[in-house]
A and B are shown apart, each in its own frame.
Chain A
């Protein structure tokens, strides 16, 4: 009798264990391991968890030119891996050659972001992913047409089935796949990262630049600072992810020329002229700089913050307040020396991540 019970038990166990293994076409969970020094201040949407097939599909869609009306450009046209997922242009160029009003944003470490676009108009990557597709200047393709084109492809129907267990393609699923892929674009192996993890040393100049980068100057105590880390926070060098705290008016325009910026989204007068403080990862590869690409080089950027701040009613007070000069002049001046500016630029170069910009997993799968 005991033998018979045991037999039943083993048989039941076998059936139970088999039933798991024999499931077919189930998307494979992707084991995401965040960089140990990036912290866990991120969220992966419950309704769009990582899967191997979803990420693969997202990568294909990111580089899929059929998602533009004339099949000439893809997301990857304006977000090029070699340029830290920017395009090197002052303004991004749409499918017919028309220019947008913004410089392409780097698509990096977005998992630790909570607002997207220069004006923060959306709060998820899934929302973000579809906007350039339908934008009339950028890719100018209706979502219905995007769904139709992909549905006409047996290959894509199979990929969607593998990723989402349905071959009924929807714009929602397109967004989810793109969101999954973009969340995997993690840059965490720059020399700065290696330094933080004790794997390499920075030069004295780079260390000086790092210290200046993260320090708000206090001339009364002799503490010199470049004031960068007030907005480009800590290890990620990106803006505060809480609410709209990561948006700032960084003094590129006076009141007379101030753009609407974040005020377009919040409706608050104090948000006029504020734009997203982007991650500075791979910043040496992603010129030109600012939301409208007006500054061509890192030297121009340092000169802006040091000498060319335009005062306005919403200028960030951490800029207004910051100076290394013992006597605060009439004009806002940071008061860095040439050597200090060069040191900060040297530090910014340590944020370049060669592994990231050469990682095959992020590259264009359609390139021969």
Chain B
């Protein structure tokens, strides 16, 4: 009898423990979409610090690093007419010789959601750009911050430009920010992505797009002036894509 009582008490304890642990499980009706990003040129991963490429203006360039903020992600289920908005949606994608891909997770998406489109901003919206809060990947002490008051670089692209006969080359610095250069982008998928199985989807950052038809012999620094704005106009179209 005593043994039965002990076992019975132990069973009760186990049951309570089991119930408690079940309660702490996350909501089973939501899913996670992982977005993976790769920096590419002509369908191949960018070889940072290692390879020279031809810019659209047929000038020889190489890449040291590429960073870009994307923000305010919205997933669109066209058929259901629903939009999923990510909270605190600020993501810094960083690529360099040691890092050829970047990824982040978008959590708490309803499990029945089918992603037909992704809307997002390249850069940081005006409100967050004026804030000192650490939200998402925003950090006023990282290398993307201009300073305490004036927000973030939206795009940082650094590398070298090699004029004919110059093996050492010149530094390229594209540091693009300012609210006017915040760009809304949309990517549509040919086939809906069901989030049911917590999928991972890859997008591509096209490293030559910011160059457009810019002539680097006229200067290799692009910041808060018309040449910087030209880079911004270039990255507003086709910078991030599905292929």
Contact = CB atoms under 8 A, between A and B. Distances in A.
Contacts of B5: 1-2
Interface in B117-142: 132, 134, 139-142
B210 to A, nearest CB: 17
Contacts of B221: 317-318, 320-321
A233 interface: yes
Interface in B150-176: 150, 160, 168-173, 175
Interface residues of A, number: 36
Given A218-B225, A220-B225, A270-B168, A41 B141 contact: yes
A313 B171 CA distance: 10
B239 interface: no
A300 to B, nearest CB: 25
Contacts of B226: 220
Contacts of A316: 171
Nearest to B225: A218
Interface string A291-321: 0000000000000000000000110111011
B2 interface: yes
A39 B145 CA distance: 12
A37 B131 CA distance: 12
Given A214-B147, A270-B160, A318-B173, A243 B96 contact: yes
A236 interface: yes
B112 interface: no
A284 to B, nearest CB: 20
A50 interface: no
B223 A218 contact: yes
A223 B160 contact: no
A245 B94 CA distance: 14
Interface string B205-243: 000000000000001110111100000000000000000
Nearest to B222: A321
**Most-contacted residue by chain B among A214, A236, A241 (CB, 10 A):** A214
A353 interface: no
A206 B171 CA distance: 32
Contacts of B175: 216
Contacts of B19: none
A216 B150 contact: no
A235 interface: yes
A111 to B, nearest CB: 12
A229 B98 CA distance: 26
A317 B170 CA distance: 8
A240 interface: yes
B6 interface: yes
B9 interface: yes
Contacts of B139: 39-41
Contact of A2 (B9, B65, B145, B171): B9
Contact of B132 (A37, A218, A229, A317): A37
A5 B224 CA distance: 74
Contacts of B85: none
B219 A38 contact: no
B148 interface: yes
Given A39-B140, A39-B142, 6 more contacts: A221-B224, A234-B148, A242-B96, A270-B160, A317-B173, A318-B173
22 contacts: A5-B6, A37-B132, A37-B141, A40-B139, A41-B141, A41-B142, A214-B146, A214-B150, A216-B223, A216-B224, A218-B224, A218-B225, A220-B226, A233-B141, A233-B145, A234-B147, A235-B141, A235-B145, A236-B141, A242-B143, A270-B168, A314-B168
Across the A-B interface, the 7 shortest Cβ-Cβ residue pairs = A39-B141, A214-B147, A317-B171, A321-B221, A218-B225, A234-B145, A240-B143
Interface of A: 1-2, 5, 37-41, 112, 196, 211, 214, 216, 218, 220-221, 223, 229, 233-236, 240-243, 245, 269-270, 313-314, 316-318, 320-321
